[in-house]
Amino acid sequence: MRAVVVERWGGPESLVEREIERPRPGLQEVLVRVHAAGVNPVDWKTRAGGFLIEWGAVPAVGWDVSGTVEAVGPGVGMFRPGDEVFGMPLFPRQAGAYAEYVVAPARHFAPKPVGLNHAEAAALPLAALTAWQALVDAADVRPGERVLVHAAAGGVGHFAVQIAKARGAYVIGTASAGKHDLVRRLGADEVVDYRAVRFEDVVTGVDVVLDAIGGETAERSLQVLRAGGRLITLTGPDDVPAARDGVRAMWVLVEPDHRGLREIAALVERGELKPVIETVLPLAQAAKAHQIGEQGRTTGKIVLTVL
Q: Mean pLDDT across the stretch 203-208?
A: 98
| Residue 60 pLDDT | 82
* Domain presence at residue 222: yes
Q: Are residues 145 and 184 in the same domain?
A: yes
Q: Are residues 170 and 116 in the same domain?
A: no
Domain count, the chain: 2
| Residue 150 pLDDT | 98
Q: Mean pLDDT across the stretch 267-294?
A: 97
What is the domain range of residue 93? 2-124+275-305
For every residue of the chain, DSSP letters joined together read: -EEEEESSSSSGGGEEEEE-PPP---TTEEEEEEEEEEE-HHHHHHHHH--S----SS-B----EEEEEEEE-TT--S--TT-EEEE-TTTTS----SBSEEEEEGGGEEEPPTT--HHHHHTSHHHHHHHHIIIIIIS---TT-EEEESSTTSHHHHHHHHHHHHTT-EEEEEE-GGGHHHHHHTT-SEEEETTTS-HHHH---EEEEEESS-THHHHHHGGGEEEEEEEEE-S-GGG-PPP-TT-EEEE------HHHHHHHHHHHHTTS----EEEEEEGGGHHHHHHHHTTS---SEEEEE--
Q: Are residues 106 and 39 in the same domain?
A: yes
| Residue 58 pLDDT | 61
Q: Are residues 7 and 120 in the same domain?
A: yes
* Domain presence at residue 47: yes
CATH number at residue 72: 3.90.180.10
Three-state secondary structure call for residue 260: helix
Q: Are residues 200 and 182 in the same domain?
A: yes
Q: Are residues 173 and 208 in the same domain?
A: yes
Q: Is the pLDDT of residue 55 over 60?
A: no
pLDDT tens-place string over residues 130-156: 999 999 999 999 999 999 999 999 999
Q: Is the pLDDT of residue 107 over 90?
A: yes
- pLDDT band, residue 8 (cuts 50/70/90): confident
* Domain presence at residue 158: yes
Q: Rounded mean pLDDT of the chain?
A: 95
The whole-angstrom separation of Cα 159 and Cα 164 is 9
Q: Are residues 45 and 142 in the same domain?
A: no
Q: Mean pLDDT across the stretch 290-298?
A: 93
* Domain presence at residue 269: no
Q: Is the pLDDT of residue 128 over 70?
A: yes
Q: Is the pLDDT of residue 52 over 60?
A: no
* Domain presence at residue 268: no
Q: Are residues 68 and 149 in the same domain?
A: no
Q: Are residues 213 and 300 in the same domain?
A: no
* Domain presence at residue 39: yes
* Domain presence at residue 112: yes
Q: Mean pLDDT across the stretch 242-259?
A: 91
Q: Are residues 136 and 114 in the same domain?
A: no
For residue 300, which amino acid is it? G
* Domain presence at residue 118: yes
SS3 content of the chain, % helix, strand, coil (to 5): 30, 30, 40
| Residue 54 pLDDT | 60
| Residue 246 pLDDT | 86
| Residue 34 pLDDT | 98
Out of 241-245, 252-256, 289-293, pick the least confident. Answer: 241-245
Q: Is the pLDDT of residue 46 over 60?
A: yes
Of 251, 266, 293, the one marking the end of a domain is: 251
Q: Is the pLDDT of residue 114 over 80?
A: yes
Q: Are residues 24 and 117 in the same domain?
A: yes
The whole-angstrom separation of Cα 283 and Cα 74 is 31
Q: Are residues 20 and 120 in the same domain?
A: yes
pLDDT tens-place string over residues 184-200: 999 999 999 999 999 99
CATH number at residue 137: 3.40.50.720
Share of the chain above pLDDT 90, in %: 88
